Amino acid sequence: MDPRPIGVFDSGLGGLTCVKRLMDVMPGEDIIYLGDTGRVPYGGKSRETILKYARQDIAFLRSFDIKAVVAACGTVSTNGLEEIAGDYPIPVFGVADAAAQAAARATRNGKIGLIGTTASIRSRAYDEKILRARPGAEIFKKACPLFVPLVEEGRIGRDDEVLRLVAEGYLRELRDTGIDTLILGCTHYPLIAGTVGEVMGPGVTLIDTGAETAERLRRELAKTGALAARARGGYTYYVTDSAEDFGRSAALFLGTHMEGDVHRVTLEERV
Ligand code: DGL
């Protein structure tokens, strides 16, 4: 049994979709969340910058006595997280591993789609992970950079015409490839799964990276006897820009009223 909190970070609010899944599968865990809202989005930045930010985010979370880190960010998870994970004495999880394995299991015809930020699509991280789990799979990718700002603006409804137009534009070519599985490779995307699912059609299984990662983390913590024993955990949120209105936006991502405190912090830039 390990009562220490789990540290979770993302460039902004998207990682809260993963937090929601963590809360669902491990309600007894304390969670400390960092949203680097002052620097979001990471998805158009270079690999060096993304890794520098990831190090600073992890250093902040480690200023608390945490037992594991989850990079609830598709962009960080596909841009070198594994290279730096070994630098820390606690386990560091990304969201790409569990999602790639879930997609490899879900596909029937071996054609898997991936949507994500520009940096996630540019990296070959998913290709390698999927091919390891399912040799011979065909992978079709599409960067969808407008999805993150649309989600952050709350344009997530199935009846939102702008979102639908953008989704049609991005997804048409993926639909035409005949994929039967689509990885929502950015933690913002579960909020627009309704529209994405409608555009792709009912024959395409959507993979939620946060959901897969939460289940994987639960299994790993259980294996090492590191789950917390309490019935209900506590939550604390940190952001690098204004904390005002965070509660309202967070509720959207968490799918429920936000419980816990939110604080504004400045990250140590020299890390
Ligand atoms: N939530 C981040 C991800 O999963 C995307 C947002 C960003 O571009 O910073 O990739």
Q: Picking from 42-56, 94-108, 246-260, which range would have the lowest pLDDT averaged per residue?
A: 246-260
Contact 75, 85 (CB under 8 A): no
pLDDT confidence of 60, banded at 50, 70, 90? very high
Note if 144 is an active site residue. no
Question: Taking the complete model, does pTM exceed 0.85, yes or no?
Answer: yes
Strand intervals (E) in 68-124: 68-71, 92-93, 111-116
Question: How big is the chain by its Cα radius of gyration, in Å?
Answer: 18
261 token code pair: 């405190």
Measured distance CA(267)–CA(16) in Å, rounded? 19
Lookup result for tokens 């983390």: 217
Lookup result for tokens 């950079």: 145
> Which of 13, 52, 75 best tests ligand 1's pocket when mutated (most atoms within 8 Å of CB)?
75
**Ligand 1 atom showing the smallest separation from residue 10 Cα:** 1
Give me the mean pLDDT over the 39-58 stretch.
Answer: 96
Lookup result for tokens 């639908």: 164
- Which residues, in sequence order, are CB contacts of 98 under 8 Å at separation 6+? 209, 212, 213, 215, 216
Task: Give me the catalytic one of 61, 73, 144, 207.
Answer: 73
Q: Which fold has domain 96-209?
A: Rossmann fold (3.40.50)
Measured distance CA(135)–CA(153) in Å, rounded? 39
Q: What is the pLDDT of residues 209-230, one digit of tens each?
A: 999 999 999 999 999 999 999 9
pLDDT confidence of 165, banded at 50, 70, 90? very high
Q: Does the structure show a pLDDT above 90 at 270?
A: no
- Listed by start position, the domains of the chain span 6-94+211-269, 96-209
| Ligand 1 neighbours (beta carbon < 6 A) | 10-12, 14, 40-43, 73-75, 117, 120, 148, 186-188
> Which of 73, 152, 184, 212 best tests ligand 1's pocket when mutated (most atoms within 8 Å of CB)?
73
Instruction: Mention the CATH class of domain 6-94+211-269.
Output: alpha beta
DSSP category for residue 43: T
Q: What is the pLDDT of residues 124-150, one digit of tens each?
A: 999 999 999 999 999 999 999 999 999
